[in-house]
Amino acid sequence: MLTVQNIYKTFNAGTANEVRPLRGVSLDIPEGAFLVILGGNGSGKSTLLNAIAGTFPLDNGEIHLAGHNVTRWQEHRRARLIGRVFQNPFTGTAPNMSIAENFALAIRRGQARGLGWALTKNLMDELRDRVKELRMGLEDRLGNAIGSLSGGQRQALTLLMATCLKPALLLLDEHTAALDPKSADQIIRVTEEVIKRHKLTTLMVTHSMQQAANLGDRIVMMHRGSVAYRFEGADKQRLRVEDLLARFEELRRREMLDDSVAALLQENYI
């Protein structure tokens, strides 16, 4: 479904601020799979997500999505295939428009929008049913401006909007990171339900090891712009938070092994 082949990206190349967030990343997500990308700050996980969404052109490598080579597609063109939920609950919705109006926009994502009544009775009925599934009592507040809702409620609605067209790929960019623990748990529950119901192919970025251990059917651990570890199938099922912590510790130790340690080991190991 999604294939990422050896992609590279360097920002501010040739300047003092040069960063190389992607250094040859490859991924393969079959249809209906749920991949969790885990990594520390600056590991390149969000950049990878943005590369897939088409936020910037790549230096090298290819991205194939749902049978199309989307490498040179602009972000808005890819939006037909991709649903996204961002970390910031204020991104992804129009705050001054009502819940219903936001939905009316989302439901026509990627299509031409003419000058007709957006909020038809059919749409409102369907919307009410969908919002009811969130079990947050929002179905009675469809006329309220989205800006008046809490962060958790907004993320839940954004998630519904991102998935209402059953996208070929759902991108979740640390979408619970800005929420309080209780709201985050609620959003995770909603996320699982939605993904399961629509059998969505999903790519979720997180730095929460708890989420990584409990969600998804595969994990990619990023470090310094490349994939450090991959876990799939039985390996993923067995994985506990402690195992993930141990892997991070390993990466850190690896980083700290510099040439002076190498010299010390050469001298004293045997």
241-247 own/partner pairs: CB under 8 Å, 24+ apart: 241/209, 241/210, 241/213, 243/213, 244/38, 244/209, 244/212, 244/213, 244/219, 245/209, 247/221
Q: How far apart are CA 112 and CA 256, in angstroms?
A: 54
In whole angstroms, how close is the CB of 136 to other proteins at the nearest point? 34
Q: How far apart are CA 243 and CA 192, in angstroms?
A: 23
Check residue 135 for interaction with other proteins (CB under 8 A).
Answer: no
In whole angstroms, how close is the CB of 171 to other proteins at the nearest point? 30
Q: Are 31 and 168 in contact (CB under 8 A)?
A: no
Structure tokens at 72: 């040179």
Buried b (16+ CB within 10 A) or exposed e, 152-162: bbbbbbbbbbb
Output 51 or 227, the one with its CB closest to other proteins.
Answer: 227
Q: How far apart are CA 176 and CA 138, in angstroms?
A: 19
Tally of CB atoms within 10 A around 60: 12
In whole angstroms, how close is the CB of 26 to other proteins at the nearest point? 19
Q: How far apart are CA 228 and CA 220, in angstroms?
A: 8
Output 129 or 255, the one with its CB closest to other proteins.
Answer: 255
In the sheet where 202-206 sits, what is the strand order? 82-85, 169-173, 202-206, 34-39, 218-223, 226-232
In whole angstroms, how close is the CB of 239 to other proteins at the nearest point? 13
Residues 64-93 that bind other proteins (CB under 8 A): none
Query: Containing H/E element for 52?
Result: helix 45-53
In whole angstroms, how close is the CB of 244 to other proteins at the nearest point? 12
In whole angstroms, how close is the CB of 261 to other proteins at the nearest point? 5
In whole angstroms, how close is the CB of 233 to other proteins at the nearest point? 16
Output 94 or 263, the one with its CB closest to other proteins.
Answer: 263
Residues 210-269 that bind other proteins (CB under 8 A): 246, 250, 253-254, 256-262, 264-269
Output 75 or 232, the one with its CB closest to other proteins.
Answer: 232
Output 138 or 244, the one with its CB closest to other proteins.
Answer: 244
Output 94 or 246, the one with its CB closest to other proteins.
Answer: 246
Q: Are 119 and 203 in contact (CB under 8 A)?
A: no
Output 78 or 247, the one with its CB closest to other proteins.
Answer: 247
Q: Give the interface with other proteins as residue ranges (CB under 8 A).
A: 246, 250, 253-254, 256-262, 264-270
